[in-house]
Amino acid sequence: METYTSDITQFLKQLKQAKPYLDQAQRDGRALLWERNLDPDEQEAFKKARVAQKPYVYGSEP
């Protein structure tokens, strides 16, 4: 007996068979945004530039 596979799963399997390079292209695209090395100087600048948030942000006090 065959198990149920959804239309989306079938579509993705067919797409990956037709275009096997998609997995690597997805990893490369993700690496551009998320998996990059952090620059320690840049991180330090971000920490110094951070502004503390007040406990109640909707208050009228300056």
List the chain pLDDT tens, one digit each, 62 residues: 789 999 999 999 999 999 999 999 999 988 888 877 888 999 999 999 998 887 887 877 66
Q: For the chain, give every domain's residue range.
A: 7-49
Q: What is the pTM of this model?
A: 0.47
For residue 48, give both structure tokens.
């110094």
For residue 33, give both structure tokens.
């945004």
3-state DSSP assignment of residue 2? coil
CA distance 48 to 58: 24
